[in-house]
Amino acid sequence: MAKHLTDGDIKNIVEHLDEWDLTVRLTWDKLCKELHSSLDISHTRQTLQKYSRIKEAYKSVKKHASGKKPRKKRALPSSLAVAAVKIEKLERENQRLNKENDRLLEQFLVWQYNAHIHGMKLAQLNQPLPEKLNN
């Protein structure tokens, strides 16, 4: 049985999707193979789809790739071509992070409402986490 994905694994997978070449067709199978070869992460499509951040990043790449029409590439100086690829990657990453931030804000509102309904005080909510017992 495969181990669960850590937060670091999820972050690496999502960043890998941000860098996906939009001229290459993205499938779950290709993603799994790519993750195995480049990040040494061996998981199935089903496992990857259980994580909302990965699933949303995958959908975002598919959406951007579907809008990309192969066109004749003008000969750009190499520095401009590299810059264009980097800008495109950063725009996709920015869009994904904005969506993640919106979901976290929605989750915060749910927690805020539930804390109010159950009579939690601000001091209780701001109480620091306990120190590790291993120190």
Q: Compute the distance between CA of residue 120 and CA of residue 127 in angstroms, rounded to an integer.
A: 11
- Contact of 5 with 13, CB cutoff 8 Å: yes
Residue with tokens 């994580």: 51
Residue-wise pLDDT for 28-64, tens only, equals 999 999 999 999 889 999 999 999 999 999 998 898 8
In sequence order, what are the residues at sequence separation of 6 or more whose Cβ sits closer than 8 angstroms to the Cβ of residue 92?
A: 18, 60, 61, 64
> Cα angle at 67 between 65 and 70, to 5 degrees?
80
Q: Compute the distance between CA of residue 52 and CA of residue 66 in angstroms, rounded to an integer.
A: 21
At 1, the pLDDT band (50, 70, 90 cuts) reads very low
Alpha carbon 42 to its chain's center: 17
Q: What percent of the chain has pLDDT over 70?
A: 90
- Contact of 92 with 60, CB cutoff 8 Å: yes
pLDDT at 88 over 80: yes
Mean pLDDT of 83-88: 89
What is the pTM assigned to this prediction? 0.65
